[in-house]
Chains A and B, each alone.
Chain A
Amino acid sequence: MRPGPGGCCCRRPALPNGCVANGELRNGYVRSSPAVAAASAAASSQIHHVTQNGGLYKRPFNEAFEETPMLVAVLTYVGYGVLTLFGYLRDFLRHWRIEKCHHATEREEQKDFVSLYQDFENFYTRNLYMRIRDNWNRPICSVPGAKVDIMERHSHDYNWSFKYTGNIIKDVINMGSYNYLGFAKNTGTCKEAAARVLEEYGAGVCSSRQEIGNLDKHEELEKLVARFLGVEAAMAYGMGFATNSMNIPAIVGKGCLILSDELNHASLVLGARLSGATIRIFKHNNMQSLEKLLKDAIVYGQPRTRRPWKKILILVEGIYSMEGSIVRLPEVIALKKKYKSYLYLDEAHSIGALGPTGRGVVEYFGLNPEDVDVMMGTFTKSFGAAGGYIGGRKELIDYLRTHSHSAVYATSLSPPVVEQIITSMKCVMGEDGTNLGKECVQQLAENTRYFRRRLKEMGFIIYGNEDSPVVPLMLYMPAKIGAFGREMLKRNIGVVVVGFPATPIIESRARFCLSAAHTKEILDTALKEINEVGDLLQLKYSRHRLVPLLDRPFDETTYEETED
């Protein structure tokens, strides 16, 4: 054991691209943290970029993506190989009716139509997904709070269909819902306010914003959101996904360039595609890759016509929901300013969950909201409601009010949902006269640090930033996806497991979402069970296990790293 440099757990050779990496240069890009603690920056003064970019950060930025151990990677591929072989075998058996077919079939009358599905798509669903299908879509019958009631179900035909036993698995610890601030509740001021508005207004609206569906409640919400974000104006929409997919096409179009992070959410990808603009992808959170694309775009202009681009829009997310990483916003803003491009920031997971008062990733880095051109986010997660918003300068919002697809064609937000957002947001802002909101934000930050540290101590490979409430735990092997989900449910803990195609094929993982509603006891119970299952399934792959310092209170600067 040696002390880590400057309190940051990176002790690897410095790479020339500006990052002091902790070890993994994969596919030519670095998925690791620059050591930006002042001490380490001084120690590595020969590296130009660190000192330059380090100055942009006002706080340590510790993000790690430990390399997949070679043996694990090989075994994972072998696992998929075996699954595929058995898939073919079973398809063969099904074809000759030796094995019974459970899936729904085409109508007799339409047998001679062109087949509705491509074969490969079905092969994967039939032979891989179906084996572990019971880990998803688990129906719940309570508030999605810190604990949740799950409806018990059984399958008698290998997951092709489920039967509900009528039993309810009570008080399962919920590590899956995006209930960051704990506003998913059926009691308290939010619920009462929502109930009042529901009784007065009803559930629906039956018209679009531009026609006759613009309620006084919507106007109130938008003013509040603008105030919360610190921007001139904001607009709210009925669905978070659609906020991206229906507004990006209003902002950019043909002759414009979109630079999109490779791990952006499906809604951003769809919005970009629908806009008709040219799309180029940069490596996840990699500023060298982004800068190169920006430079080339301006220097060389549009392909073929060689005209200059009309405008360049950078699409990034605040917290990436599958990686648990936080966008390098200070660097992105510096690049955006240098290259006169525009920035679209999707704060679906970060709004409410980051920053000392829950204002999201901009506040987390201590930046100015005016430097982000389009501030997008959702109400689904931290605010326990539904829908999305866009905030920015008044000109932008005026333009969206007249040109957003949502404003013209889609039904506006449901009034009780609006009221839930208003009350919860006011609570976060402290405008309800209590300290409750602030405490929630702090509780979440504490829970995040604690939970991530404990998992690292146990020796799991944990991805992402130390401040991100999204915590991916790497499982790698396909068989472990199902096993982990089932073992955890057996121990009364609900977790989310994800595999291909949501992740790269070998990087299957479990994902925990922390909440301010989780108490220390809940987290400790969960950690104890995760530890047990981790031993059972041999998931402790990490070679950089943190050493627990049990007799000292938690302080991130006292942590050291060991290699075993």
Chain B
Amino acid sequence: ESLDDSQVAGVCATEEVVRYEYHVLYSSSYQVPVLYFRACFLDGRPLTLDEIWKSVHACYQARLLEGPWDTITQQEHPLLGQPFFVLHPCRTNEFMSSILTGSRKQTRHTNYIILWLSTVGPVVGLNLPLSYAKLGPEQNTNTD
């Protein structure tokens, strides 16, 4: 059954510009960095959790649905007091230690924040340019 003009118009997604705001905070309770973010359309209307969820790439969605502790929830920003979305931090130590042990075996210089942000950021639309990974040893801080 071929689509007529009105149906084609319905199928095309309306393109809307979304403004994302990312904050990297440190949780003293879990002693790991935590990614807070929020998004709104240009008219100021904030995205709902559903809309945020839909914008998460399909390959990450399955993983996020597996564990409640890797999921995105709405939380109060501890300094601004406003609602943000957060990737729950309690698994961070787990995946970060396996990455860090591996790179230490190769005696590669590691920048904890870049390692961490390049892992969690893409899940919520924050992609670090590769140039961050090309920083030389003298520009890196070793983790201990």
Partners in one complex: no
Interface residues of A (CB under 8 A from B): none
Interface residues of B (CB under 8 A from A): none
